[in-house]
Amino acid sequence: MKILLTLCLALAGLFNVCAWAAGAPAAPSATTVTGEVLEVKDVDSYTYLRLKTADGETWTAVGTAPVKKGAKVTIENASVMKNFESKSLKKTFPTIVFGNLAGAGAPAAAAKVVDSSPIKVPKATGANARTVAEVMTKPAALKDKPVQVRGKVVKFNGGIMGKNWIHLRDGTGSAADGTDDILVTTAAVAKLGDVVTVSGVVHTDKDFGSGYSYKVLIEDATLQP
């Protein structure tokens, strides 16, 4: 029995070392967190909540919401971030949970929705105009450069890590290799089905942590109808 236990521990240690060397992400946390609100801090686009949960106290962050101390809340689509710095609060959280506030109190912007209808959107105009496919297939050439992309909002996630996350499609590219869809982060709010022109900077190989890793995206974009 001792020999078997020693072998298991050795294999477990080897697995952890290999996972670390390969840059493997940490095991995913629970998809929901439920607790009593002990403290509330509101900043632009965010509500920070200190919760008392069954596993102890934890800080969470959701899109701006009218939450009061003492309320019982559930955070959906929970994602753990480590050593997260909030410039608004001038505070670094060793561990914080980002997600969407469940129930009627959740802001509409936090809802995750998808539009799968046929799409054909004309290309934007101007020197930096690109199609979705052009950005997705030429990330090296466009890295750190400004672009304008016109497309239809097919997915929206609001209030995650201080940003709104939208997916645009314009009818170019291929679903088979993922070149038909571009992720855009923005402070602006858009509705599902909106046709907008985004102006932002192309970034590549961006890792936000907690499984949020992207080969190419447009960041800090402004939106125009």
Phi-psi region of 175 (alpha: psi -120 to 50; beta: other; left: phi over 0): alpha
Residue 142, domain CATH: 2.40.50.140
CA gap 123, 144 in Å, rounded: 21
Q: Given pLDDT bands bounded at 50, 70 and 90, which one contains residue 134?
A: very high
Final residue before a domain boundary, out of 51, 78, 106: 106
- Asked, for residue 85, whether it belongs to a domain, the answer is yes
Task: Compute the average pLDDT of residues 137-144.
Answer: 96
Task: Identify whether residues 134 and 54 lie together within a single domain.
Answer: no
Task: Identify whether residues 96 and 133 lie together within a single domain.
Answer: no
What number of other Cβ atoms are within 10 A of residue 125's Cβ?
Answer: 10
Residue 161: its pLDDT value, please? 73
| Total domains in the fold of the chain | 2
Task: Identify whether residues 134 and 212 lie together within a single domain.
Answer: yes
The domain containing residue 129 runs over which residues? 113-224
- Residue 87 above 60 pLDDT? yes
Residue 4: its pLDDT value, please? 38
Residue 70: its pLDDT value, please? 92
Task: Identify whether residues 79 and 121 lie together within a single domain.
Answer: no
What number of other Cβ atoms are within 10 A of residue 140's Cβ?
Answer: 9
- Residue 76 above 60 pLDDT? yes
Task: Compute the average pLDDT of residues 16-22.
Answer: 31
Task: Identify whether residues 124 and 98 lie together within a single domain.
Answer: no
Residue 181: its pLDDT value, please? 93
What number of other Cβ atoms are within 10 A of residue 195's Cβ?
Answer: 15
Task: Identify whether residues 118 and 93 lie together within a single domain.
Answer: no
Mean pLDDT across the chain: 78
- Asked, for residue 77, whether it belongs to a domain, the answer is yes
Asked if 190 and 223 count as a contact pair (C-beta separation under 8 A), the reply is yes
Pairing of the two strands 32-43 and 46-53: antiparallel
Residue 45: its pLDDT value, please? 64
Long-range contacts at 85-88 (CB < 8 A, ≥ 24 apart): 86/43, 86/46, 86/48, 88/43, 88/44, 88/46
Residue 42: its pLDDT value, please? 85
If residue 133 lies in a helix (H) or strand (E), which one and from where to where? helix 132-137
- Residue 88 above 70 pLDDT? yes
- Tell me the per-residue pLDDT of 156-197, one tens digit each, with 9 for 90 and over: 887 777 788 899 999 999 989 999 999 999 988 888 889 999
Task: Compute the average pLDDT of residues 82-111.
Answer: 70
Considering only CA atoms, which of 52, 97, 46 is closest in space to residue 67?
46
- Residue 6 above 70 pLDDT? no
Residue predicted with more confidence, 23 or 208: 208
- Asked, for residue 154, whether it belongs to a domain, the answer is yes
Residue 90: its pLDDT value, please? 86
- Residue 12 above 70 pLDDT? no
Final residue before a domain boundary, out of 80, 106, 132: 106
Task: Identify whether residues 134 and 177 lie together within a single domain.
Answer: yes
Residue 209: its pLDDT value, please? 67
Burial of 216 (0-12, 13-18, 19+ CB in 10 A): buried
Residue predicted with more confidence, 169 or 20: 169
Residue 110: its pLDDT value, please? 42
